[in-house]
Structure formats: C-alpha cells, structure tokens
Amino acid sequence: VEAAGVARAVAVAVDVLDGLIAAHAAGVIHRDIKPDNLLVDRDGRVVITDFGIAATRAAATDVIAGTPVYMAPEQADGSGISAAADVYAVGVVLAEMLTGAPPWTGTTREVLASKRARPHLEIAGPGIDPALAAVVARATTVDLRGRVGAADELRGLLAPWTTATEPAPSRPRRRGDAAAKVAAAAEV
C-alpha cells in the first residue's frame, strides 16, 4: 500500500466516523456499515447511506441484521448491539481498504465462525504501519472489553495517519457538517 493509499483509507474511515459520532449522539446505531453504504459526495467527503436497518439504542437488542463480513460478532449472535458494533464495522472496512480484499470470504456460516476463531483482525503487508495494524486490531477485537467502544475514540486513534495538523477532536469539528451528512444519508 502506498502512503497516499493509506492516507485515503484513513480519510475515508475518519469521514465515516464523523458521521457515526453524530448518529451515535442522536442515539442511532447504523448496524450495516460496509463499502456499499458509503458514498463520496461532490466535495470528496464520504457520506453514510442506507439507514434502513439502523436502530435506536433503546431498541437495539435482539434483531439480527447486517452484512456478515462487516457485522460485529455480538451483532451476529443476537446478543445486543451498541456503538461498538459500528466501530467494529469501520475497522473491517479500513482493513479491507488497506489490504485490498475483504478479511473473510465464504458462506455466512463460514464467515461468522471464522470471526469467532480469531480474537481480532491481523493485517500486515508492505506499506502498512504496524501501529495502524494495531489500531485495526483494537477496532475489530471480538471481546467487547478490549474493543474500541466509541467512534470518537477510534477517530482519535487514527489521528497519526490523518493529513490534518490539528489533533482529532472528541466530536466532529463542525458538528453541523457531520449531522448534515447523517441527515442527508437518511433521506437517500
């Protein structure tokens, strides 16, 4: 992976996280973050689409919905979801962008079994900083106690690979922009 590719992958992840920070603040968990639900707007920013299976935190318990490759293990088990499920999916999308391939293939049963067999995603390769690979591992940890639990926390961990010179804020720099992204995506 070239440096420009890493920078673009992280920029995509940060845009997604900005949208999720706003959604989570509103009590909405997307539950299906995946490349097909991420669009690039005219300004080059990534917009989250398809809130069709999104859930409010109050109602986010037993319903199993999402795409198996990107779905958090607890989501697949039906044991309830939280913002950490969306963080997990962003970690999987980031891993896919960095490696050029989805981390799991096969039937739904094979994908879900493979997720449980590994404690987290391990990515490596030319141009992939081991520290960035460690961030992906923390975002995709199966055990919720070890996983990055919030979108703003993951955004902060990705700060060393962003092109911005200022540190990542704990919430979007322009909350209105992130909220507009989520609102626009919800209308699609």
Q: List, by residue number, the catalytic residues.
A: 32
DSSP state of 124: -
Cα distance between residue 15 and residue 47, in whole Å = 7
Residue among 36, 46, 41, 161 nearest 92 (CA): 36
Q: Which helix (H) or strand (E) covers residue 180, if one does?
A: helix 175-187
Angle at 41 between CA 135 and CA 45, to 5 degrees: 30
